Structure 1
Amino acid sequence: MLIVRGLKKHFDIGAQSFGGERSVVRAVDGVDFTVAKGETLGIVGESGCGKSTTARLLMHLIQPDAGSLIFDGEEVNAIRGMSVSDMRRNMQMVFQDSYASLNPRLTIRESVAYGPRVTGLSRAQARARSDSLLDMVGMDPSNFANRYPHELSGGQRQRVNIARALAMAPRVLILDESVSALDKSVEAQVLNLLRKLKRELGLTYIFISHDLNVVRYISDRVLVMYLGQVVESGPVDAIYTAARHPYTRALLSSRPSMDPRKRIEIAPLTGDPPNPINPPSGCRFRTRCPQAQPLCAQEAPALASAPSDVSHVAACHFPLTYEPGLASHPVSGARQ
């Protein structure tokens, strides 16, 4: 469905000193990935790694500096191929802040009907589609259609945002931390709703979240980002049981355990991410990696597939390997 190649966005922050060179924040720095039809791609990583910026670049809410986007075989380009406006009809986005995403002066029915109305449907047709979608996401139109955003809970507002995104009959939904502000019971309801909608409407999802358990529940494949770059990608089970990149292993090890006998006593990852204005040479994770070697500083690793699974790739000179029967105990490939 989507092919992304060489996606880049550097934000200019001006010269650090009078007469000096202009500095840029390398928010997204050469991201490549694909999304198959009907799958859910989960994107994870620490805050500031470029997840949300990548989503906005896909929607062209931020203009990319470089890179190409191919949507279902057509390149998205203002001059040739699919236009950005046509792409946006097929790809919609649900944002994290459910309240800020809605116009406080419009009723729920008007918010959902706005897109279909401005693209050619009559007022009656747009209102009918709005009511149908509200009912689809579990919001009874007779009870909620004439309410305003401030009269709804966070979970209800996020259901409205999902309905509004579906109003344009898209084929792809980008969900940027769409359940992170909800309590766990409501979060579970929204996640089950998303799975139901995907199954019934044949949707494709790009699901961005910092919650690794949520990503595992809803995703088919996982993309791990660090400091503006992809460090690992693969099927969800392969990532969670046989992570090949040290950063991915550290993320997974940081998850809290419900078993008091498995408490985390040693931090799996220490220190802050490097400055994105002046990232480290070679591998960007080497300054925090416990197994970094001289080669890591000299040469940036390329994404390479695992011997047993070509769909599981990691950008590491010394990827982690696993002995049979010891999937939970990674062993550094560099020390063998």
Structure 2
Amino acid sequence: MQPFINIDLGGPAQPLLKVNHLLKYFRGGKGREVVQAVDDISFTVMKGETLGVVGESGCGKSTTARLLMQLLTQDSGELIFDGQGVGSSRLPLKAYRRQVQMVFQDSYASLNPRMTMEESIAFGQRVHGVSAREASEYARYLLAHVGLEPARFADRYPHALSGGQRQRVNIARALAMKPRLVILDEAVSALDKSVEAQVLQLLQELKRTLELTYVFISHDLHVVRWLSDRILVMYLGEVVEIGPAEQLFTASAHPYTRALLSSMPSMDPENRTLTSPLSGDPPSPIAPPSGCRFHTRCPHAKAVCAEVKPRLEAVGEGHQSACLMAQPASPWHQSIPLKEVSHVG
């Protein structure tokens, strides 16, 4: 049963989602301070891939997710979904949101406590005009698809399920709209490791069988490496590096990426470090540093880094970095040692 039908408009070479110069500032406080949450970011999400998004808390990951889902409206910039402008006459917001779904971190808060699991999964379809009978049948089909026996779980309420079971229901609820893109914002971070592994395996299987595309946001770099095809690194509201997952882990170009990877716990006791490679807290997004925003914490920073704002430039095939020292065409290019990531693996 397929209540909705998706059409691939541009073929596999056309990005499923293209993000152009997205910007979102929040204004508030006594002094009407402006928080530069997401500042002029651009990237693409290719069809069938998993794009991992990483960065420290407060870097703009979750705000970016909500902008992609259009739960927040950007101050400027645009989203292009399979060649069509989001919010245009060709792709109204309702049609876009049907094809893009989101799974949040808090599995309990994401579910209506007064709805059974079957009702929660069927709700989105009912809003889009699917009959009650068809929506209920499809909800039960999806429960089985995510490993929850409909006879046991369809009539249960959220409080009667474990965290892992609730997150499976949230995944099923997202799939009910037959989306092409699923945004997972820390969707497994609240689960214990054994349940997390089961949900990650489920996500991989669903991606393969349903031809899904993921944007996967997580603070767990080991999980991101395992699940992602490409990885996007954010720092203080900006994209500082993006490239193939293994290339970022073995030959990252931006000093922040290297420091972030160095903070990963090593499986080898001989390689474990006692001190964090990142010194201090990130600067405030209310008044970010001039030039490269990472220069105040970067061990390789030069005077020019405080004066010139680096743009994302190619540093390899499919690999971009916003670091003046890392870009081969930059007049300030220099070789940066890889010692920061020597223990990753």
Q: Deviation at 1:323?
A: 8.4
Q: Which residue pairs with 1:310 in the alignment?
A: 317
Select 1:263's aligned residue among 272, 294, 300.
272
1:3 maps to 18
1:38 — aligned with what?
48
Counterpart for residue 198 of structure 2? 189
Rate the CA distance shift 1:209–1:327 in 2: closer, same or farther, 3 A: closer
Map Cα deviations across residues 20-42 of structure 1 (whole Å, 9 max, x no partner): xx420000001111000000000
Decide whether the 8 Å contact of 1:247 with 1:285 is kept in 2.
yes
1:58 to 68, 91, 105: 68
Letter in 1 for 2:17: L
1:285-314 deviation line (CA, Å, top 9, x unaligned) = 0000011111001010111111xx231000
Aligned counterpart for 2:39 among listed residues 24, 29, 33 = 29
Tell me the residue number matched to 1:334: none
SS in 2 for 1:215: helix
**Post-superposition offset of 1:14:** 4.5
Q: Is the 8 A contact 2:48 2:213 kept in 1?
A: yes
Matches within 5 A, 1:70-89: 70-78=80-88, 80-89=89-98
Task: State how far apart, in whole Å, the 2-side matches of 1:125 and 1:81 are.
Answer: 28
The answer to whether the Cα contact below 8 Å between 1:232 and 1:303 also exists between their aligned partners in 2 is yes
SS of 1:102's equivalent?
coil
Whole-angstrom CA distance in 2 between matches of 1:226 and 1:291:
16
Instruction: Output one character per residue of 1:190-223: Cα deviation in whole Å (capped at 9) or x when no partner.
Output: 0000000000000000000000000001000000
Q: What is the distance in 2 between the residues matched to 1:2 and 1:200?
A: 21
**1:5/1:31 contact within 8 Å kept:** yes
Distance 1:294 1:163 in 2: 52
Q: Does residue 111 of structure 1 match 2:126?
A: no
CA distance in 2, matches of 1:41, 1:63: 22
Q: Is the 8 A contact 2:262 2:341 kept in 1?
A: no
- 2:259 maps to 250
For normalisation by structure 1, the TM-score amounts to 0.92
Q: Does 1:156 align with 2:165?
A: yes
In 2, distance between residues paired with 1:70 and 1:321?
A: 36
TM-score when normalising by structure 2:
0.90
Q: Give the whole-Å Cα distance in 2 for the aligned partners of 1:103 and 1:266.
A: 43
Q: Offset of 1:15 from its aligned partner?
A: 5.2
Amino acid at match of 1:59: M
Shift of 1:168: 0.5
Distance 1:59 1:295 in 2: 37
CA distance in 1, matches of 2:105, 2:29: 30
1:11 partner letter: F
Segments ≥4 residues shifted beyond 6 Å: none
Q: Which position in structure 2 is the counterpart of 1:215?
A: 224
Judge conservation of contact 1:3–1:35 (CA < 8 Å) in 2.
yes
- Counterpart-to-counterpart distance in 2, 1:174 and 1:190: 15
CA contact (8 A) 2:259 2:341 kept: no
2:4 equivalent in structure 1 = none
Contact 1:3 1:70 (C-alpha < 8 Å) held by counterparts = yes
In structure 1, which of residues 32, 37, 49 is the aligned counterpart of residue 59 of structure 2?
49
How far does the alpha carbon of each residue in 1:65-108 deviate from its partner, in whole angstroms, 9 at most, with x for none? 01100000101124x33111110010000011000000000000
CA contact (8 A) 2:115 2:157 kept: yes
State the AA in 1 paired with 2:163.
Answer: G
For residues 168-207 of structure 1, what are the structure 2 equivalents within 5 Å? 168-207=177-216
Name whichever of 237-246 and 6-15 sits farther off.
6-15
Aligned-CA RMSD value: 1.7
Deviations along 1:132-152, one digit per CA (max 9) or x if unpaired, are 000000000001100000000
Determine helix, strand or coil for the equivalent of 1:283: coil
> What is the match of residue 241 of structure 1?
250
SS at match of 2:129: coil
Runs of 5+ in structure 2 lacking a partner? Answer: 1-15, 327-333
SS at match of 1:193: helix
Work out the CA distance in 2 between the residues paired with 1:26 and 1:179.
27
Task: Note closer, same or farther for the CA distance 1:27–1:322 as it changes in structure 2 (3 Å cut).
Answer: closer
The CA distance in 2 between the partners of 1:191 and 1:14, in whole Å, is: 40
Report the AA paired with residue 75 of structure 1: G
Distance in 1 (CA, whole Å) between partners of 2:280 and 2:169 is 39
For the residue of structure 1 that corresponds to 2:318, the secondary structure is strand
